[in-house]
Amino acid sequence: MTRESESGLPIEPVYGPEALRGWDPAERLGEPGAYPYTRGVHPSMYTGRPWTMRQYAGFGTAVESNARYQQLIAHGTTGLSVAFDLPTQMGHDSDAPIAHGEVGKVGVAIDSVDDMRVLFDGIPLDKVSTSMTINAPAALLLLMYQLVAEEQGVGADELTGTIQNDVLKEYIARGTYIFPPKPSLRLIADIFRYCKAEIPRWNTISISGYHMAEAGASPAQEIAFTLADGIEYVRTAVAAGMDVDDFAPRLSFFFVARTTLLEEVAKFRAARRIWARVMRDEFGARNPKSLMLRFHTQTAGVQLTAQQPEVNLVRVAVQALAAVLGGTQSLHTNSFDEAIALPTDKSARLALRTQQVLAHETDVTATVDPFAGSYAVEKLTDDVEAAAVELMRKVEDLGGAVSAIEHGFQKGEIEQSAYRIAQETDAGERVVVGVNRFQLDEEEPYEPLRVDPAIEAQQAARLAKLRAERDQGAVDAALTALGKAAQGEDNVLYPMKEALRARATVGEVCDVLRGVWGTYVPADAF
């Protein structure tokens, strides 16, 4: 009996040679580390060294988050990933009325370079790779990171890491946008230029399908709309006068890993193949690194359940295995209790241990792309690729990613997919262990980690002290210079950095840009 994949594609009970009839291995597979990169972006993949184990963390104050980072590093984490609270993500200070009730809740509160200094206290920024999940105000957080590194005596050319900086998916699936699309794309192009000149090893954008998947996108939709956004960013940079090979090697991507292991492996392989072809054929990239789709993966938070939460340990292990078999460059494993609250120290440690077991106790690191030539996986790879390419064609027919966003295309497609999954779950056709089958009569009690509501008052006091101590004249002059750059064509990151150095706050800097560029209001808000 044929089953359907998450993307609605057929999965046959048995595959044989006929599944790949007319299939050219040289064209579809190639060698690991070579075009079309189906088998991975490095010739040796994990046989040389394992993926970066990058745990996503951040809550409450910078002091509390710093303590969690120190623990993760002590337990073997090789890369940090910073979660910011909603006010920071939206460009508001912790004492702004709009921030009330949200300070420190879903990530760490960062109001100024003072907070960033505390966040990375005692962490050598030349030794750790840091990813920051920040989008509309990404430039500010990157510049504060650079300023803290300078205070540590670390040169900008020694810094490695990633800013998410993917605002287009915010209009599609997540909602933490500030400015309209056009100035947002201008800001991203400025970041590309700045990093090429000042922070050359930094990954300037992590083009994200994860949040679309969390909103309900199928695997085919996830890679289609993510790669379409990537194409829009490349076009923006090229239109701004940049050579594609000057910035494309620093582009990276961010995907989800679900429990449907075979389709997820196929998805990652298909995405690499599509991106390599687009960069070579559409943009004429010559540097092989410009063709490589490098990506971070996070296990699927949306698939975690509050019911019988320990079962999530099993889900996360399967999802992590899918990411590894799919060739991810770095991985975050969710903690089993995240469907209830912020993870505890113990659950965060268990999540990291899951990766360490995969890396050191299994044989998945012994050979490159172990599914290569599998009838089932190669056919699924072709099918996911074809479905994604068709969706990308529809985006192009609407005028590209931004125009398609304005038409509501991606959002509408994702909502239809989410509705289909919800219907199947409600009907019991899709089994979710502990939710619609194998339930317990009574759930065991669980004590979650809770954020102290006093954090908001503490951050407000820190801001009051900062404003009393700083040179307000220097702040005002720097913010005026930033406004002039935003009105013109100069790169805004240089005056922005000076404003942050003078201890301007995140809210103050974003307010200047709001005053020049305006704020985005979606069409369906009217």
- What pLDDT, in 10s, does the model give residues 104-135? 988 999 999 999 999 999 999 999 999 999 99
The pair phi, psi for residue 178, each rounded to 5°, is -125, -60
Q: For residue 60, give the DSSP letter.
A: B
Model confidence, pTM: 0.93
Q: Which two tokens stand for residue 100?
A: 């009330």
CA dist., res. 86 & res. 136, Å (int): 12
Count of H-run helices and E-run strands, the chain: 21, 11
Pair 82, 132: CB distance under 8 Å: yes
Q: pLDDT digit string (tens) for 215-231?
A: 999 999 999 999 999 99
CA dist., res. 168 & res. 190, Å (int): 16
Pair 131, 81: CB distance under 8 Å: yes
Report in angstroms the alpha-carbon separations of 307 from 334, 438, 439.
Answer: 16, 10, 8
Q: pLDDT digit string (tens) for 452-495?
A: 889 999 999 999 999 999 999 999 999 999 999 999 999 999 99
Selection from 128, 135, 117 nearest residue 160 by Cα: 128
The pair phi, psi for residue 257, each rounded to 5°, is -125, 120
Q: Is the pLDDT of residue 18 over 90?
A: yes
Mean pLDDT of 177-189: 97
Q: Is the pLDDT of residue 149 over 90?
A: yes
Percent of the chain with pLDDT over 90: 89
CA dist., res. 46 & res. 205, Å (int): 24
Q: Which residues pair with 206 in a beta bridge?
A: 252
Residue 342 — pLDDT band, cuts 50, 70, 90?
confident
Other CB atoms within 10 Å distance of the CB of residue 67: 14
CA dist., res. 496 & res. 443, Å (int): 51
Mean pLDDT of 155-171: 97
Q: Is the pLDDT of residue 395 over 90?
A: yes
Q: Which residue has the tokens 């792309």?
A: 369
Looking at the chain, the domain(s) classified CATH 3.20.20.240 span 3-363+370-426
CA dist., res. 217 & res. 240, Å (int): 31
CA dist., res. 243 & res. 238, Å (int): 6
Q: Which residue has the tokens 């994604």?
A: 388
Q: Is the pLDDT of residue 195 over 60?
A: yes
The pair phi, psi for residue 311, each rounded to 5°, is -60, -25
Residue 83 — pLDDT band, cuts 50, 70, 90?
very high
Selection from 108, 183, 153, 119 nearest residue 451 by Cα: 108
Question: For residue 526, what pLDDT is reported?
Answer: 43
Residue 1 — pLDDT band, cuts 50, 70, 90?
low
Residue 327 — pLDDT band, cuts 50, 70, 90?
very high
User: CA 73, 312, 351 angle in degrees (round to 5)?
Assistant: 10
Report in angstroms the alpha-carbon separations of 38 from 86, 139, 156.
Answer: 37, 33, 33
Other CB atoms within 10 Å distance of the CB of residue 307: 16
250 Rama class: left (phi>0) / alpha (psi -120 to 50) / beta: alpha
Residue 38 — pLDDT band, cuts 50, 70, 90?
very high
242 Rama class: left (phi>0) / alpha (psi -120 to 50) / beta: beta
Class of domain 3-363+370-426: alpha beta
Mean pLDDT of the chain: 95
> In 341-454, where does DSSP find H-type helix?
345-360, 375-397, 401-406, 409-426
Mean pLDDT of 181-193: 96
Which SS3 state, helix, strand or coil, does residue 55 take?
strand
